[in-house]
């Protein structure tokens, strides 16, 4: 079954609604929350992976948008510009899933399968060597 990643932004007043529950119950979508930052009274953000049928995606996304949530397809590719990279290793300090690591010689290892597209490295890299594409 197809699987897609979505970048959800919740306006402050919407942040505590249990929309994920509706996606399962009403739209037969299987959610996998990759990352979420949701606090009452503040804009929330969730990186959500959904598995389901095509028509269920469309209905599910329409439901989220009706609830006032901004839905964008999440980044699907991440690129490292090796010419710009100086191998400082700073990105490895913020990559919680361990997609970016250093080997014993200080070479940068990048395991794309572990990446959750959280953008932490994009913001942290002093050389702006990492970019996400959608």
89 binds ligand SF4 (CB under 6 A): yes
* CA gap 128, 124 in Å, rounded: 8
108 binds ligand SF4 (CB under 6 A): yes
The contact set with other proteins (CB under 8 A) reads 86-94, 96, 101-102, 104-107, 120, 123-124, 126-128
The binder of 119, among ligand SF4, other proteins, none, by C-beta within 5 to 8 A per type, is: ligand SF4
Of residues 112, 45, 99, the one with CA closest to residue 74: 45
130 binds ligand SF4 (CB under 6 A): yes
Of residues 122, 69, 89, 125, the one with CA closest to residue 134: 122
100 binds ligand SF4 (CB under 6 A): yes
Structure tokens at 117: 């597209």
Given CA atoms 53, 63, 23, 25 in this order, what sign does their dihedral have? negative
Q: Cβ of residue 75: shortest distance to ligand SF4, in angstroms?
A: 8
Kindly list the distances between the CA atom of residue 117 and the CA atoms of 98, 100, 104, in Å, as whole numbers in the listed order: 12, 12, 25
Q: Which stretch binds ligand SF4 (CB under 6 A): 5-13, 24-32, 38-46, 112-120?
A: 112-120
Residues that bind ligand SF4 (CB under 6 A): 78, 80, 85-91, 94-95, 97, 99-100, 108, 115-121, 125, 127, 129-130
């Amino acid at each position: 079954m197809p699987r897609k990643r979505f970048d959800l932004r919740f306006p402050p007043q919407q942040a505590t609604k249990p929309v994920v529950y509706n996606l399962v119950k009403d739209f037969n979508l299987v959610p996998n929350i990759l990352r979420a930052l949701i606090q009452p009274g503040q804009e929330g953000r969730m990186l959500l992976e959904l598995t389901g049928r095509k028509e269920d995606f469309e209905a599910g996304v329409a439901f989220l948008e009706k609830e006032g949530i901004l839905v964008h397809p999440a980044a699907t590719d991440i690129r490292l510009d090796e010419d710009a990279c100086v191998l400082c290793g700073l990105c490895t300090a913020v990559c919680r899933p361990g997609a970016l690591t250093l080997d014993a010689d200080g070479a940068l290892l990048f395991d794309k399968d572990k990446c959750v597209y959280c953008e932490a490295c994009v913001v942290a890299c002093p050389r702006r060597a990492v970019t996400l594409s959608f």
